[in-house]
Structure 1
């Protein structure tokens, strides 16, 4: 085993859901992380592993900081970076007034490149090393995104929005052109280095039945691609979808009928599902991207954790920028906790950190690639400073357990807590 980098700090990662197995939390107060180029070579107690460090290699020591896997954001729109925090009375007017005019600019490759670069740097600044990303209807927006991601050697998932009705003409494709453009992008970018492609119908109301059918055909033809879309975000949208697809049993069933429910399918929001919908998600291993910040911002509703857990639906959490108001997964955990409490559920901090790392990787069917410090996984990780602000430093003098320390981070933490971000073993951000 060749060791190329050695980092000493506290270590935290998960081997399973801590809500089910307490032993799934792996914590080493004095830990050592060893890399072999871009892969995890070992992770554990410093005293047990220090003999593996070659004599010529200096151990980089970060006392008081925590090494953990990079965060995974399973639903975010990079073209909405410049319209984050835009006021509107609800989802549909927000789309019309802000989203569509902003996305129009991505027909310009230079603009798309500049925004993509800023967007990815902002993710890294917040400790997010993988995201499932919506581009725009323009193929050049996807080219720009993957070009910028490849330049940073990041593990990213992205796709061209498919949208052939109920939107401004300047953002409309056709069923045929969207399938043709998506396939060309799949063939160019999917599995190229660390880039992965997601078939991306925006949401059922903005796609004709023919477009959704062709998206389903692509999903069948390229079974290791991802699928991403929106479902059951708010009541007006649900009523609209049902009116447009009267033969579907439910909003989710629109996608199911065309073959868009399968492993590696990520459905954002999922607030207004019924029990049959949830069972179907579990059966197909389609996953939920829970977007609490966006749901609160747009007044969409509260996610039902108890019913999702009972149905064993794969769950992840996501920022949903620009409906969400922060790139920070720590701030998103803060909102997740509050949404759960409003539904009568207490969510431990360990569960939130699991859901933002290994839980998200599992929802994406990537748990043997990212999401933990398991030997052989890609070396995407962050250094977290629990004392990054005066308030955090003061509060952390009084913590009595790991759970309490993580809870304080989730409630009071933000981008300032991310001391450093590593992607594929390389330092890509430092405070």
Structure 2
């Protein structure tokens, strides 16, 4: 008998199965609470009634209920039932053996090549496993949500492009991970952390530059009154007006939104044109009939920008960045502690002398570290929700409380976001408090 329980592969296997079951049962419990709220609240809440017709609310509610039950069934069958069978019968070890047999040439027997074959086969298996749920979602549920769809040829080209790009990225990542761990051994987790830090810094430097071309086209603000109001607001807050960008978004399904991003000279406040009344255009002939009249008034847009200035004034970007780096360091440290442990690999069916690197990543991040990842995700969501309340308080302090309240009501209606949510479910899943929670907090101010 092993000296400690974590040295016994059988105990490790049952612990991983228990973690898988409990984590998904907790997720199902939260979703059942959310569905219970959707079933009970069959009328539009009074506070949003002037902005959201009952007929549209009913469609959103039915969509949410159908989507929720699909998620529950898929979790219980695809994730829990099949996941338990995969762990118990050593599916990952078996698939690794199949991948090794597919390595026909001598050069293909290198662990990097076998790992690429293993990941490609695993990705195909996961795609097949989730195919029924995906088809049901696209055929039966998506029609409940009436949104414009691109032509089928555009969707096919987009799917092909994403598939090829995802395959190339996956192969490069797998090869890089395998060679990093083979070459550096015990120092590989440290190298992995340094790589993640470099990627984070690179993204911080590049994303503000590429926001415009990827999301849409930067345009001039045609509304002179709104420009004057924003100039007065940014001058009052000490934020440069030249860093407030209006983006004409490409995606027709992009919701009305504005966000703050970046630091120092790279900071931005980005406003989607869908946030502006009539997309900020004077000539209404360029708009679709359903777009006319949508968007926020000038004072409401200014209130939303005041909220984004609250994120900048409170340093939320820096706080989130430091928190993420601490989370990343702790995650890599925990991973480094459990990655070399042979019983973890033996628990899923591998021989004592076989510990494939890529399988270690999948098993540790997919099963072993699930409790930590779940709790840290809850903590980070709580932090971002606190940031939203602080930004609302800042906008309120500038005198935009009533306008922000009206803006929130209209945004939720325009973006077809279901306005009612279970408090516990929201705390575990949403980066933002619900609209009703934010309205209550504004009212208390």
What TM bracket, shorter-length normalisation?
under 0.3
Structure holding more strand per residue: 1
- TM-score scaled to structure 1, two decimals? 0.25
Q: Select the structure that is richer in helix.
A: 2
